Amino acid sequence: MLTMFEDAAERPSAVRTGSSYPMRKVLLAAVAATSAILLGSSASAANVHIVADQLATSSYTTQLGGTVDGNPFSLNVYESPDYLTVSVDGGPQQTLLVFCVDIFHYFDGGTPPVDYVTGILTRNSDNAVSGAGTLLSNVISGEIGYLATLGLLTNDAERLSGIQGAIWKTEYAGLTLSGGSSYVDYYAGLAAAWGAGHPNATFAPAIYSVTGNTQGFVYGDISFGHNDGGVPEPASWALIIAGFGMAGAVLRRRRGALAGV
């Protein structure tokens, strides 16, 4: 969620207390909800009625800076995806894990109930209407979809935070992030490497509000694979998971060294 606040110590009332949302069971529900959306939108756009919202973690904040579309930008935000409670095309309520792709519009726990519709990520949201800003290439959009899919493979708060930060860096050229998760550059590097190998990537699945005045989100698709028509091979997922393990080992050694100082 991109919950906006002027100072890192200022917490909007909509944000729940505690460092992280209980994730393991919710991730399973998020996969199920993703499948429902994909099935519902195979022939036409699906209606997504959002009834509740919860930050995945409130432990990480970041200062967004630099430039966006050539203009100076500054905003202090929570670096976290959201768990949305949704009903797809009038079906039963489910939980959907989503990542913000819109740093220009507001969304928090007080926003629902609100109606969204499925679509694809073709533009950023540097516009009065969410999803109607500067055109994104298919590769950049594909990289973002790839990152969102990686979010379905972890329940670690710092990794989820890092994926959200990497999505913002990938989407908005010139944007800088200060603070937040130590995994941001790691995931941004994974996305760039993936994009270099997939020039024919398709655009990432997204949801946008019917009115266009609240944030747009992307969601992961476990069948997204290489995002150019292929299903991920077991070896590919093994490499991804191995990469997570190596990054974790490096961080553990680094933290151990710091603790010994």
Based on the domain organization, do 157 and 256 belong to the same domain?
A: no
- Lowest-confidence segment of 25-39, 96-110, 111-125 by average pLDDT: 25-39
pLDDT in tens, 167-216: 999 999 999 999 999 999 999 999 999 999 999 999 999 999 999 999 99
Q: Do 52 and 31 sit in the same domain of this protein?
A: yes
140 and 237 together in one domain: no
Task: Let me know whether 72 and 174 are in one domain.
Answer: yes
Helix axes 184-196, 138-150, angle to 10 degrees: 130
- Report pLDDT digits (tens) over 124-180: 999 999 999 999 999 999 999 999 999 999 999 999 999 999 999 999 999 999 999
How many of the other CB atoms lie within 10 Å of CB of 18? 11
Contact 229, 165 (CB under 8 A): no
Domain with 76, as residue range(s), is: 4-229
Mean pLDDT of 65-77: 96
218 and 245 together in one domain:
no
82-95 per-position pLDDT tens digit: 999 999 999 999 99
- Enter the tokens of residue 247: 């990054």
Asked if residue 237 and residue 216 are part of one domain, the reply reads no
- What are the DSSP calls for 205-230, one per residue? EEEEESSS-B--EEE--TT-TTSSSP
pTM recorded for the entire structure = 0.78
